[in-house]
Amino acid sequence: MENSFLVIGTGEVGLAMLNSLYDHQEKHNLQLKIGVLVQPVSSNADAIRAKTRFNGISIEAVDLVRDGIETLAATFRRYDTVICCSGFSVGAGMQVKITQAVLAAGVRKYIPWQFGADYDRIGRGSAQPVFDEQLEVRDMLRSQQKTYWVIVSTGMITSFLFREDFGVISLKDRTVRALGDWRHSLTLTSCEDIGALTAAILFHQPEILDEVVFVAGDTVSFEEIGKLMDLLFGGEFEKILWDVPHLQQKLEEEPHDVFNRYRLVFTHPGVTWSMEETFNYQHKIPTVGLSQWAKQNLSGTIA
């Protein structure tokens, strides 16, 4: 049981996590039991995809939304470590429900879906309500002593920065928009690095338990982001500042636009930390910075 891992979800982060577990198994010649939890409606397609990439993987078809806590706990109980990669898309309250099921199952170690900001520093009542749920999960984990936990804080997933609907970098319009201030920074980590660093943390000796661990692929200011886009794409991007009053007004005008909430909350200092304080820097683990990520993933658009 000490070598059994269940990954919840097969999105970008979930697949990266599975890849990293299998890489670690092969590199260190280990025999790990690895499972992946998928929604029943997608289990056939996901099972085929998972089995073709990962030999011997166990497919757990469970409905996170409709199945009760005891049903989830019965599945979780078969694994020593549960790694939640479901994201926020499963709906409000789901991270609390999953955590309740993990604790009910008595899982030895839990890596919750906390791959993001420093929620402790941001605090409750921010522009993004789902961040309050993240703090509720932390309170639940910290208030018990049966299940070990590790929170991996990654900052923003690097690919999110390039979403046209997020609006910070528009390759289509050749525009960079700063959130809050041009000197304000974002910490960014790619999905692949999230998987690799989480695996490194899981297998680290001495064992890391009941800690918030900070990682990063890069920490860059909006000014640096703007200059990098000019350099990579061979010409000057238009630079627009969306200061806090502007972002607050946009949220008041369109409160149901989730990106208005994300834009405002990412002006908070709790979304950034220095590379020097990260697990990967301290253990000399290389990560992919913003420039390298763009070259690897946007090669068809770079000049």
Please report which helix (H) or strand (E) contains residue 19, including its range: helix 12-27
Q: Read off the tokens for 71.
A: 């049903």
HEC letters along 82-143: EEECCCCCCCCCHHHHHHHHHHHHCCCEEECCCCCCCHHHHCCCCCCCHHHHHHHHHHHHHC
pLDDT attached to residue 43: 58
Rg (C-alpha) for the chain, rounded Å, is 20
Percent of the chain at pLDDT exceeding 90: 86
CB count, 10 Å around CB of 86?
22
Confidence of residue 299 (pLDDT cuts 50, 70, 90): confident
> What CATH number was assigned to the domain covering residues 4-157+187-218+270-288?
3.40.50.720
Distance separating alpha carbons of residues 190 and 177, to the nearest angstrom: 21
- Give the pLDDT of residue 50: 64
Query: Which amino acid is located at 41 in the chain?
Result: V
The predicted-structure confidence for 136-181, as pLDDT tens digits, reads as follows: 999 999 999 999 999 999 999 999 999 999 999 999 999 999 999 9
Residue with tokens 């041009």: 182
Half-sphere exposure of 68 (CA within 13 A, CB side): 1
Residue 19 confidence class, pLDDT cut points 50, 70, 90:
very high
> In sequence order, what DSSP letters do the residues of 232-270 get, joined into one string?
HHTSPPEEEEE-HHHHHHHHHH-TT-HHHHHHHHTTSGG
* Residue spans per domain, the chain: 4-157+187-218+270-288
